[in-house]
Amino acid sequence: MTIQWFPGHMAKARREVSEKLKLVDVVFELVDARLPLSSRNPILDELIGQKPRVIILNKSDLADERQTKAWVLYFKEQGISAVPIIAQEGKGMQKVMAEAKLLLKEKFDRMKSKGINPRAIRAMSIGIPNVGKSTLINRFIKKNIAKTGNKPGVTKGQQWLKLGKELELLDTPGILWPKFEDPEIGKKLALTGAIKDNLLQMDDIALYGLNIMRTYYPQQLMKRFKINQEELALDLPELLMLISEKRGFRDDYSRASEMIVYEIRSGKVGRYTLDHAPVHFETIEEA
């Protein structure tokens, strides 16, 4: 299966992000906790450079808890702060602010020593579609959007959203899409909902999801779809047919595929992570 998904005008996106980075103190890079690497834009490391950054692992309630801890440790080893959150419920937001303050403490201390009055942290959030960027912004500003007006050097149309006296978020309507060469990344993004379903062959995504779940989370798959160990070992198309029958879809494999993808995507089959962290798990409990 090949997913055709073109990233658009990357050169324009690079230029726009570079210009906006000059206006902020810190970058909030939002990713899907189930895809800490695959849901990142590959050009961001180059663009952000030494700018302070917090990687926000959203939808952590859907991700494998142990893997999330491993990813936090992995990013820490790379010198990058990472915070798991559940934007939909507003959980973890204070931790994001705490990390941002910690990263900027030296800068703000220098400003204070020069007699510059304390001001709000200026941040920019970046994230691919469906990682929860809008939800994050709404939670930060608590749905009371206060536009603070154009800052010096800000081009017309770019607005700052204010959260009390602590945070000003640069509202960036342009969303960067990742550019990927590996078709596996496309499948992962499709399974988690980052690519519109009408661009996909849902039966292919369902088969991919079934394979992932039976490989890494077999007990969850067996429990959800009421299948035994022997049935779990069936060829993937046969497994799809079996689940279709058990759910009453008979030969309607299209509807069965949509159901399987939805139940995996929404966490009904259990928590899972598709990108596995390259760290030693025995060190996680110490992190």
Q: What is the pLDDT of residues 194-214, one digit of tens each?
A: 887 877 789 999 999 999 999
Residue 188 lies in a domain: no
Band (pLDDT 50/70/90 cuts) for residue 11 is low
**Is there a binding annotation on residue 135?**
yes
pLDDT value of position 139: 81
Q: What is the pLDDT of residues 45-98, one digit of tens each?
A: 888 888 999 999 999 999 999 999 999 999 999 899 999 999 889 899 899 999
Whether the predicted pLDDT of 35 surpasses 90: yes
Q: What is the pLDDT of residues 147-194, one digit of tens each?
A: 443 343 333 445 778 877 888 988 664 455 666 678 888 899 999 988
**Is there a binding annotation on residue 228?**
no
**Is there a binding annotation on residue 131?**
yes
Q: Are residues 29 and 145 in the same domain?
A: yes
Q: Are residues 162 and 24 in the same domain?
A: yes
Q: Round to whole Å and give the CA distance between 119 and 194.
A: 36
**Is there a binding annotation on residue 132?**
yes
Q: Round to whole Å and give the CA distance between 140 and 144.
A: 9
**Is there a binding annotation on residue 174?**
yes
Question: What CATH number does the domain containing 95 carry?
Answer: 3.40.50.300
CA dihedral over 57, 63, 65, 68, signed as positive or negative: negative
Classified as helix, coil or strand, 76 is helix
**Is there a binding annotation on residue 26?**
no
Residue 177 lies in a domain: no
**Is there a binding annotation on residue 133?**
yes
pLDDT value of position 128: 80
Q: Are residues 96 and 223 in the same domain?
A: no
Q: Are residues 164 and 30 in the same domain?
A: yes
* End-to-end CA gap in the chain: 39
Residue 189 lies in a domain: no
Classified as helix, coil or strand, 85 is coil
Task: Give whole-number Cα distances, 34 to 47, 212, 259, 269, in Å.
Answer: 24, 12, 20, 14
Averaged pLDDT for residues 126-155: 63
CA dihedral over 40, 179, 125, 265, signed as positive or negative: negative
**Is there a binding annotation on residue 125?**
no
Task: Give whole-number Cα distances, 3 to 67, 80, 184, 199, 240, in Å.
Answer: 26, 31, 9, 8, 21
Both tokens of residue 62? 């859907």
**Domain of residue 208, residue span:** 201-265
* Number of domains composing the chain: 2
**Is there a binding annotation on residue 60?**
yes
Question: What CATH number does the domain containing 241 carry?
Answer: 1.10.1580.10
Q: What is the pLDDT of residues 117-128, one digit of tens each?
A: 888 999 988 888
Q: Are residues 233 and 111 in the same domain?
A: no
Q: Are residues 33 and 100 in the same domain?
A: yes
Share of the chain above pLDDT 90, in %: 54
Residue 278 lies in a domain: no
